[in-house]
Amino acid sequence: MTEIFADAYAHACDAVDPLRHFREEFHLPLHAGGTQAYFVGNSLGLQPKGARAHVEEVLDKWATEAVEGHFTGQAQWMTYHELVRDPLARVVGALPQEVVAMNSLTANLHLMLVGFYRPTRERPLLLMEAGAFPSDRYALESQVRFHGLDPAEALIEVEPDVDGGTFSMAAIERAIAEHGPRLAAIVWPGVQYRTGQAFDLGEITRLGHAAGAVVGFDLAHAVGNLPLQLHDSGADFAVWCHYKYLNSGPGAVAGCFVHERHARTARPRFAGWWGNDAAVRFRMGPEFEPTPGADGWQLSNPPILGLAPLRAALEQFDRATMAALRAKSERLTGYLEQLIDAGLGDILQVVTPREVRQRGCQLSIRVIGGRERGRDLFGFLASRGVLGDWREPDVIRISPVPLYNTHADVLRFAASVREWRDAR
């Protein structure tokens, strides 16, 4: 057995981890009297222990103050969404006025496309990646149809060109060059959900803008996973969820970015009263005067109980810092890759790009031998308290999250795969 497969090696790595204490701040799922090795933070992050206090604070205020809770205390509900603005901006690399927590991801995508996908006879096309998360595909196709266009002609899906289903930047550049004169907008992921491939947002934005297109991103698998510089990327807009790496609970309130150059814009939007300028909102006038910045895209007053867990999560990110989280993420995912290469290559094939800059926490791992063998391995891992995520037809996604996963967790995955192989 090589050194990296030794318990002592994993424990030694964890002992010098500067972020190791954060694991104690989460509720860890249990299995057979112990803790589960949980690698599904790319689907639903674990619950921060601090979330309960923030939720109970809102419940207590509601119980004791009722409507007056909108106006009293530091955590008053009238401005509650502002409590997450600055820390959220730090996580995504934006100016505070460029971000807002609101709605759900797909609802925000639709709201952004109302203003930023404005097809004309000369420029009707909307470009996306083939194999996108279904909700994105449904949203973009419906937007094309909403404008009276045929998705077969106006929705351009770029096919992956690298083994394993990933994209080269050359393929993206070729597609933009080919369709550029007719492109209205590009919507691309920050991290592709199936393969775990991360993309250069700044370069895609540069290429899209040079072609005359608007550029937006779905960052569902990137926010809280990778250090982002949304403002500097020049992207026109971005949307994301907070229930994955941001650990804000199932169906958590989502996030939205609108670049400051669009802070005041004549672009059409779907309006609601909470997007109206706060200075005149309660005059209840008939004219909509949008708040400058991302806040101007809000519709209804924020769901306070939904925002409360996000406060707890962002407090952790502020203390940990994205730079430190990224450094640990590279160590954990690199260790997982080492273990596969050193002793599991006859069973597993890494689909996610090997270059560190092109991936985050997640490794998408193909089980050699096909679907039935893969499903058998996945079920065996679950029976051993090692939980990943299955994607048809033969891929297991394993995401070591730096806030709460350890080298020992990663080794437990590898040891369980070995156990399964040796028993077959």
Instruction: Based on the fold, state whether residues 141 and 41 are members of the same structural domain.
Output: no
**pLDDT tens sequence across 298-320:** 999 999 999 999 999 999 999 99
Quick one: 376 and 249 in the same domain? no
**Boundary residue ending a domain (302, 318, 334):** 318
User: Per-residue DSSP letters for 14-34?
Assistant: HHT-TTGGGGGGEEPPEETTE
Which segments within 280-422 are labelled E, that is strand?
348-350, 363-367, 386-387, 389-391, 395-398
Distance of CA 358 to the CA centre of its chain: 15
Q: What is each CA distance from 342 to 3, 255, 293, 408, in whole angstroms?
A: 10, 40, 50, 17
Q: What angle do CA 231, 274, 305 make, to 5 degrees?
A: 90
228 Rama class: left (phi>0) / alpha (psi -120 to 50) / beta: beta
Q: Tell me, yes or no, whether 123 and 268 share the same domain.
A: yes
Q: How far apart are CA 381 and CA 409, in angstroms?
A: 12
The dihedral formed by the CA atoms of 32, 36, 40 and 45, expressed in degrees to the nearest 10: 110
Element holding 257 (H helix, E strand): strand 255-258
- pTM value is 0.96
pLDDT at residue number 424: 82
Q: Return the closest-CA partner of residue 208 out of 240, 231, 181.
A: 181
Q: Which of 273, 301, 318 is the last residue of a domain?
A: 318
* 230 and 82 within one domain: yes
pLDDT in tens, 26-80: 999 999 999 999 999 999 999 999 999 999 999 999 999 999 999 999 999 999 9
Q: Are residues 228 and 269 in the same domain?
A: yes
Total residue count of the chain as it appears in this document: 424
Percent of the chain beyond pLDDT 70? 100
Angle of helix 105-116 relative to helix 134-146, nearest 10 degrees, comes to 30
The C-alpha atoms of residue 99 and residue 408 are separated, in whole angstroms, by 36
Write down the residue that tokens 């101007």 correspond to.
Answer: 296
How many domains does the chain contain in total? 2
The residue written with tokens 């927590």 in the block is 101
CB 127 within 8 A of CB 263: no
Measured distance CA(80)–CA(302) in Å, rounded: 8
Whether 64 and 23 share a structural domain: no
Q: Are strands 26-27 and 30-31 parallel, antiparallel or unpaired?
A: unpaired
Question: Which of helix, strand or coil describes residue 68?
Answer: helix
In a shared domain, residues 296 and 366: no
Neighbours of 335 (CB within 10 A): 20
Q: With contact defined as beta carbons under 8 Å apart, do 308 and 75 qualify? A: no
Q: Which domain holds residue 20?
A: 3-48+321-423
- How far is 306 from 310, CA to CA, in rounded Å? 8
Domain-terminating residue out of 295, 318, 341: 318
* Greatest pairwise CA separation for the chain in angstroms: 74
Kindly report the CATH number assigned to the domain that includes residue 13: 3.90.1150.10
pLDDT band, very low/low/confident/very high, at 282 (cuts 50, 70, 90): confident
pLDDT in tens, 352-393: 999 999 999 999 999 999 999 999 999 999 999 999 999 999
Task: Give the pLDDT band (50/70/90) at residue 337.
Answer: very high
Calculate mean pLDDT across residues 198-215. 98
The answer to whether residues 314 and 326 belong to one domain is no
The model's confidence at residue 418, banded by pLDDT at 50, 70 and 90, is very high
Residues 131 and 243 in one domain: yes
Contact 127, 176 (CB under 8 A): yes
- One-letter identity of residue 233: S
The residues that bridge with 207 in the sheet, in sequence order, are none
Q: Does residue 163 surpass a pLDDT of 90? A: no
Tell me how far apart the alpha carbons of residues 262 and 267 are, in angstroms, rounded to a whole number: 9
Residue 398 neighbours by CB under 8 Å, 6+ apart: 39, 336, 362, 363, 365, 388, 389, 413
Q: Is the pLDDT of residue 148 over 80?
A: yes
Q: Which of 137-141, 270-274, 277-281 has the lowest mean pLDDT?
A: 277-281
Mean pLDDT of 153-161: 97
Domain co-membership, 300 together with 367: no
Measured in Å, how far apart are the chain's first and last C-alpha atoms? 20
Q: Is 363 helix (H, G, I), strand (E, B) or coil?
A: strand
| CATH classification of the domain holding 185 | 3.40.640.10
Burial of 136 (C-beta count, 10 Å sphere; 0-12/13-18/19+) = buried
- pLDDT averaged over the chain? 97
Same structural domain, 342 and 308? no
Four-residue CA torsion sign, 321, 11, 367, 404: negative
Co-location of 86 and 138 in the same domain: yes
DSSP assignment, residue 214?
Answer: E
Report the run of H or E that residue 372 belongs to, with start and end.
helix 371-383
